[in-house]
């Protein structure tokens, strides 16, 4: 999948990559089979807006349809998703993730902000309540999954009170967010909102506060799982103790 139709005010991707276009499903399946035949045991589905796969077509294609087509490939043991927008965390995708499948139980769902005013200025097509509902629905169905979430600080117009709303949102989450924190610097080619920026000292302080103040779930996800083999795709290790696998 390439391109994006979202037009977030801070993002230049629609201008340089164009509208969303999905690769033909048969072509993907053929490449996946070739890669598995070549020894790869884990494949990642990548795209600019992967969750929108197939939405511009009228043949019934969707991300879940593609995942179901990949499942029967002999020798393929894991399928990994990249970033999926909140609106694309559909009940259908959640139900598939909750069923026995080759899909890795890790989801990266960009949040950007926990404040509705900031989300609106960003041109995001959801509010904090919608994001929270989707993520809690995901964790109810797949309680052992891990979640990655982009959080952007320093967006033009974000004052201390709006920033505190994002902090409160992450703290109230119950610790399901793995924070990928993005300081916002000047971006060429984006919307008129991208005019006034916080200085680096303020950005660094806000990044540190969220990273250390949120109920980060990373340790529990990384070290709290027992009875699961997490390294079964290792092909060999190098003298430098680097694991290399397919």
pLDDT per residue as tens digits for the range 149-165: 888 878 888 888 998 89
Least confidently predicted of 1-10, 65-74, 184-193: 184-193
Which pair of tokens denotes residue 241? 């103790």
Mean pLDDT of 115-142: 94
Q: Which residue has the higher pLDDT, 119 or 234?
A: 119
Q: pLDDT value at position 166?
A: 86
Task: Give the pLDDT confidence of 78-91 residue by residue, as tens digits.
Answer: 999 989 999 999 99
For residue 220, the model assigns a pLDDT of 40
The structure tokens listed for 113 are 């902000």
Give CA–CA dist 135/142, Å, rounded.
10
Closest CA to 209 of 155, 171, 175: 171
Residue 225: burial class (beta carbons within 10 Å; 0-12, 13-18, 19+): exposed
For residue range 31-63, list pLDDT tens digits in order. 999 999 999 999 999 999 999 998 888 877 899
What is the model's pLDDT at position 204?
56
Local confidence band at 186 (pLDDT 50, 70, 90 cut-offs): very low
pTM of the model: 0.78
pLDDT of residue 13 exceeding 70: yes
Residue partners of 238: CB distance under 8 A and separation at least 6 = 244
């Amino acid at each position: 999948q390439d391109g994006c139709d979202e037009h977030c005010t801070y993002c230049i991707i629609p201008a340089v990559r164009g509208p969303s276009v999905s690769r033909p499903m048969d072509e993907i399946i053929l490449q996946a089979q070739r890669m598995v035949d070549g020894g790869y045991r884990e494949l990642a589905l990548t795209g600019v807006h992967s969750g929108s796969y197939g939405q511009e077509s009228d043949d019934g294609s969707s991300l879940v349809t593609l995942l179901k087509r990949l499942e029967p490939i002999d020798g393929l043991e894991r399928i990994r998703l990249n970033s999926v927008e909140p609106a694309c965390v559909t009940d259908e995708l959640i139900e598939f993730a909750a069923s026995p499948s080759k899909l890795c139980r890790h989801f990266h769902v960009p949040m950007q902000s926990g404040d509705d005013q900031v989300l609106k200025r960003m041109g995001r097509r959801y509010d904090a309540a919608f994001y929270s509902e989707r993520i809690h629905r995901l964790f109810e169905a797949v309680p052992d999954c891990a979640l990655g979430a982009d959080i952007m600080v320093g967006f033009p117009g974000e004052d201390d009170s709006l920033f505190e709303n994002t902090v409160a949102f992450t703290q109230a989450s119950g610790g399901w967010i793995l924070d990928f924190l993005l300081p916002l610097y000047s971006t060429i080619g984006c919307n008129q909102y991208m005019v006034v920026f916080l200085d680096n000292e303020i950005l660094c302080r806000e990044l540190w506060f969220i990273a250390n103040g949120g109920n980060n779930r990373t340790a529990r996800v990384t070290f709290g799982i027992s009875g699961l083999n997490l390294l079964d795709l290792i092909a060999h290790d190098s003298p430098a103790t680097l694991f290399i696998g397919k």
